[in-house]
Copies of this chain bind each other. A is one copy, B any other.
Amino acid sequence: MTEEQIREAMAKAVDDVREKNPLAPSITNTVTQDFVANAQLAIGGSAAMLYLADECEAMAKLAPALYINMGTAMPFYADTLPKTARALQTNQTPWTLDPVGIGLSSLRTDILKQFKEFKPSIVRGNASEIIALAKLWGLVETGGTVRGVDSTEKVSSAKTAALELAKFTGGAVAVSGAEDLVTDGTEEILCAGGSELFTKITGSGCALGGVMAIYLTVATPFIAALTATTMFNLAGSKAAALAPTPASFKVNFLDTLYELTGEGVADKFRAVGSFDKMFDAMFKEGLN
């Protein structure tokens, strides 16, 4: 895709969601559900959080996309998550996976191993999580470590893992950090913008995954991941300019997300250096 084609596809995704109000149900952690749902609503989508296996299987058939976030796993996740992922594959429903907490327990490891077969449309995580998932699935040999839910690795260190994951799933992978890498295994886009304040509030990564699931209802995994990432960077930069403190930042972030238009997002999306090889280049000016 050319940069112009990407811009157009992103603008269309943003506007289509505002017009269609699509639903992307979530199985997601109890800490940040409120933020995930409000972010999904702010971009024009619809939200519903679920835990029961039969409800999630039904939604995997009925809804246009789903979001699975592994945070705050509960015992019944061992039943719900594999069944849901299988139903998603059976019904060819696109979904976003956030493998948060990978490696913390045998339950998470068992579930994430099973997910290899079901190939999530988008995998979103921090560098440590993306590396750990690529290792777990046997796609790369070496990798980083995870400390709780925070990354101990830089985004650049997860480049190979992200590429291999995307090639394997045939979808997209988004690595979140100070900069964000979005790839479909061929294209590699490095996104800048956002704010350090994202690290001072909970759930921005979770909300990003939930918003990607909404865009999966109207766009390809690559465009969905890129659109959500660009919007978060853009709204994050704007919100940080409005207030330098975390709780006000969170309010301003959601308010700004609500106001973004397809044209605005496309206008602000910029590539630095060679578009095909931009991973090692930085977006010097950010996206604000």
Chain A residues near B (Cβ < 8 Å): 23, 25, 29-35, 37-38, 41-42, 46-52, 54-55, 58-59, 63, 71-76, 101, 104-108, 147-150, 199-203, 243, 245-248, 250-256, 258-259
Find A247's partner among B30, B55, B255 (CB 8 Å cutoff).
B255
Residues of B within 8 A of A71 (CB): 49
Residues of B within 8 A of A49 (CB): 29-31, 71-72
Residues of B within 8 A of A148 (CB): 23, 25, 46-48, 59, 63
Residues of B within 8 A of A29 (CB): 49
Report how far A250 CA is from B37 CA in the complex, Å: 14
Residues of B within 8 A of A31 (CB): 33-34, 37, 47, 49
Find A74's partner among B23, B52, B73, B106 (CB 8 Å cutoff).
B52
Distance in Å from the Cβ of A126 to the closest Cβ of chain B? Answer: 13
Report how far A148 CA is from B255 CA in the complex, Å: 24
Closest to A199 in B: B41
Report how far A76 CA is from B104 CA in the complex, Å: 18
Distance in Å from the Cβ of A202 to the closest Cβ of chain B? Answer: 4
Residues of B within 8 A of A258 (CB): 200, 245-247
CB distance A50 to B23 under 8 Å? no
- Cβ contacts A to B, 23 pairs, < 8 Å: A23-B147, A30-B49, A31-B37, A34-B34, A34-B202, A37-B202, A38-B246, A38-B250, A41-B202, A42-B247, A47-B202, A48-B101, A48-B148, A52-B73, A54-B105, A74-B74, A243-B255, A245-B254, A245-B256, A245-B258, A246-B255, A247-B250, A248-B255
Report how far A193 CA is from B101 CA in the complex, Å: 38
Residues of B within 8 A of A247 (CB): 38, 42, 250-255, 258
Given A202-B41, A254-B247: A50 in contact with B72 (beta carbons within 8 A): yes
Find A75's partner among B52, B106, B245, B251 (CB 8 Å cutoff).
B52
Distance in Å from the Cβ of A52 to the closest Cβ of chain B? Answer: 5
CB distance A52 to B107 under 8 Å? yes
Report how far A33 CA is from B31 CA in the complex, Å: 5
